[in-house]
Amino acid sequence: MKCTNSVRKRKIVPIVLAAAVFLTGCGSAKYDMAYELNNDVSGFQLLNITNQETLEPFAADLCVADKDVKMTGIDLPEAGAVALFNLKTLDTLYAKNVNVQINPASLTKVMTALVAIKYGSPDQMLTASENVLITEPGAQLCGLKPGDQMTLEQALYILLIYSANDVAVMIAEGISGSVEEFVAVMNQEARELGATNCNFTNPNGLTDENHYMTTYDLYLIFQEAIKYDLFNRIIQTPVYSTVYKDQSGAEKTLEVNSTNQYLRGTYEMPSNVKVIGGKTGTTNAAGHCMMILSTDSSGTPYISIIMKEPSGEGLYTDMSKLLESIK
């Protein structure tokens, strides 16, 4: 399935033109209508209205997946949802259940990082509150204690590389003052990106029946996040070492390894692509999940996503099959 990135030229319906002129005033050569969830006509930008010939759809620079898309030789029956997108041609090469709402586990943290990078600054100092003391069994933690301090950049590395749930709480409170306020921003930002089938209740992806995303939502959010240099640098890092301070000012050393087994060499990358980086996530409710940015031999970028895989080994086996299908 392909989303065209060419400008569509056709005559604008007069009533739409009249409405646009009424809203923006006469004499302007360009009228932009931003995407809005509840606006019937906001999915388009009206350009060159004086010539009455150009309509640019909201998704002109996005891949589109409104149904399953099959690929010869690829069958991933164990995975709950799968997608492969060509970011250059805007082709959806493979799609399975991409609009089904699924618990995303720690893939949530891509949205957390996106909001933090957009509204914070890398050198912003964060302080851990009592809320970092997460007691959920099996939750990935970096061991923060109340009063610990580090910069936002340090926290983002730990968030995306090691997937620490406690650092996600510290980021949320540092950026917005509370987890609740931060989550509200997450939901608003998602909707502005067109990710309208997701709902966040926390910044880390710990299990909540009202916390869900679709695979297509994840694509929209991930392709926005990779526009930021800091995000790109972090997701390519296999090992990260840092020093932060506790509440008394004493230094604490931390070294974390990436949860991405391609970057760590546990699983070999397919020979036809280079795995740049991405995000993994695992909970009992979500199964094993992964989102990858990769490039082929010509440098063409791809986003591949697998959600709700029963096992970690199966996740990498199926992801490699998906990536090997890239020609």
- Note if 320 is an active site residue: no
Q: Same domain, yes or no, for 296 and 189?
A: no
The residue annotated as part of the active site, out of 109, 258, 279, 304, is 109
Mean pLDDT, rounded, for 81-99: 97
Residue 50 has phi, psi (to 5 degrees) of -60, -30
Share of the chain above pLDDT 90, in %: 78
Which 3 state secondary structure label does DSSP give 327? coil
Residue 75, domain member (yes or no)? no
Q: Same domain, yes or no, for 110 and 178?
A: yes
Higher pLDDT, 17 or 119: 119
- Note if 311 is an active site residue: no
Burial letters 250-278, b for 16+ CB under 10 A, else e: eeeebebebbbbbbeeebebbeebebbbb
**Phi-psi sector, 68: left (phi>0), alpha (psi -120 to 50), beta:** beta
The predicted pLDDT at position 44 comes to 47
The predicted pLDDT at position 51 comes to 54
Q: Same domain, yes or no, for 109 and 93?
A: no
Question: Inter-axis angle of helices 179-192 and 215-225, to 10 degrees?
Answer: 90
Lowest mean pLDDT among 61-70, 88-97, 168-177: 61-70
Q: Same domain, yes or no, for 250 and 167?
A: yes
pTM for this entry: 0.84
Residue 122, domain member (yes or no)? yes
Residue 132, domain member (yes or no)? yes
Q: Same domain, yes or no, for 167 and 254?
A: yes
Residue 41 tokens, joined: 């006509």
pLDDT digits (tens, 9 = 90+) for 271-312: 999 999 999 999 999 999 999 999 999 999 999 999 999 999
pLDDT digits (tens, 9 = 90+) for 93-135: 999 999 999 999 999 999 999 999 999 999 999 999 999 999 9
Residue 154, domain member (yes or no)? yes
Average pLDDT, the chain: 87
Q: Same domain, yes or no, for 247 and 271?
A: no
Share of the chain above pLDDT 70, in %: 82
Domain closes at, from 261, 295, 313: 261
- Note if 163 is an active site residue: yes
Mean pLDDT, rounded, for 192-211: 96
Residue among 181, 199, 177 nearest 111 (CA): 199
DSSP notation for 118-159: HHS-TT-EEE--GGG----TT-------TT-EEEHHHHHHII
Can you give the CATH number for the domain in which 242 is found? Answer: 3.40.710.10
Q: What's the half-sphere exposure (Cβ side, CA atoms, 13 Å) at 195?
A: 26
Q: Same domain, yes or no, for 120 and 91?
A: no
The predicted pLDDT at position 66 comes to 80
The residue annotated as part of the active site, out of 163, 176, 258, 294, is 163
Range of the domain at 30: 8-57
Structure confidence at residue 19 as a pLDDT band (50, 70, 90): very low
The residue annotated as part of the active site, out of 2, 28, 67, 106, is 106
Residues in CB range of 65: below 8 A, 6 or more apart = 1, 83, 85, 92, 95, 98, 99, 216, 219
| Total domains in the fold of the chain | 3
What count of other Cβ atoms lies within 10 Å of the Cβ of residue 193? 18
Residues in CB range of 261: below 8 A, 6 or more apart = 267, 316
DSSP notation for 260-278: -HHHHTSSPPPTTEEEEEE
